[in-house]
Structure 1
Amino acid sequence: MQAQFRPDFEKAGGLITAVTVDAETGEVLMVAYMNPEAFDLTLATGKVHYWSRSRGKLWKKGESSGNMQRLVELRVDCDLDAVVVRAVQEGPACHEGYKSCFFRTVDADGSLRVDAERLKTPEEMYGAPASSTATEGVR
């Protein structure tokens, strides 16, 4: 079922940016992309769907890891080409096992540090070792 309102998917070649935030705290959990099908399915099911640019396919957040996102509110920007997804996150949002994909901080001297607690390992979420980038570039 097509949603009554549609963002402008054509501006960026069929995709819109989706910034997902924790519905309760406002913390940014992740940034991903939606195509029209992901947008419509998110509204129709209440479960957040995205378009994976790297895999070239639609995916429901948590379909592999079990870490689903339940839609609370969908907000669209003034140009109609980006959305903020307010969601209830079940488990980590990040495939590295952190609550947020933004678990690293760049300090004033340019050094990178992890400043969050890992909630689960990739092995716990996916059943097999994943190539971790969690400490990549960390001094």
Structure 2
Amino acid sequence: MIQIDFDKMGGLIPAIIQDHENGEVLMVAFMDKKTLDLTLKDGKTWFFSRTRNKYWMKGEESGNTQEVVEVLTDCDADSVVIKVKQNGPAACHTGNRSCFYVRWEDGGWVEHSNPLFNPDDVYKKG
């Protein structure tokens, strides 16, 4: 049986989150063994925040949770793709559907932002 290789990147693996219906990449986050196990058991996406050094479930503050439809690993078993049903309008904390709304154009990065909610109305301060 294949085992996920958490050792290559110091205990973490990248998790690419895709909309299960259209394949759109919604976000990329990091998982350790505990959060991958939680995700597989719970059916919701759980991650490890390198910035905050803590575990978090997608949507725990915003309500924009993700239901796991399918989980795949790559040929090296050191990353995962998780296909989800996105509950709520947006996966990104900026209010955008996807975290990938900045595009390379004419020699620079251009923001194509179309927020579906105001983050200030959703997330707690402090």
More strand by share: 2
Output the CA distance in 2 between the equivalents of 1:56 and 1:24.
32
Moved over 2 A (4+): 111-116
Q: Which residue of 1 aligns with 2:103?
A: 105
**What are structure 2's unaligned runs of at least 5 residues?**
none
Output the CA distance in 1 between the equivalents of 2:44 and 2:92.
17
Write the deviation string for residues 49-91 of structure 1: whole angstroms up to 9, x where unpaired.
0110001011111111111010000000000000001001112
Q: Which residue of 1 aligns with 2:21?
A: 24
- Code of the residue aligned with 2:7 in structure 1: it is E
The verdict on how the C-alpha distance between 1:77 and 1:111 changes in structure 2, with shifts beyond 3 A counting, is same
Cα contact 2:2–2:77 (8 A) shared by 1: no
| Percent identical | 46
Mapping for residues 1-139 of structure 1, pairs under 5 Å: 6-91=3-88, 92-107=90-105, 109-128=106-125
The verdict on how the C-alpha distance between 1:22 and 1:42 changes in structure 2, with shifts beyond 3 A counting, is same
TM-score with structure 1 setting the length: 0.84
Output the CA distance in 1 between the equivalents of 2:50 and 2:24.
24
User: What is the root-mean-square deviation in Å for CA atoms of aligned residues?
Assistant: 1.7
Q: Which has the higher contact order (CA 8 A, sep 6+)?
A: 2
Cα contact 2:66–2:87 (8 A) shared by 1: yes
TM-score with structure 2 setting the length: 0.92
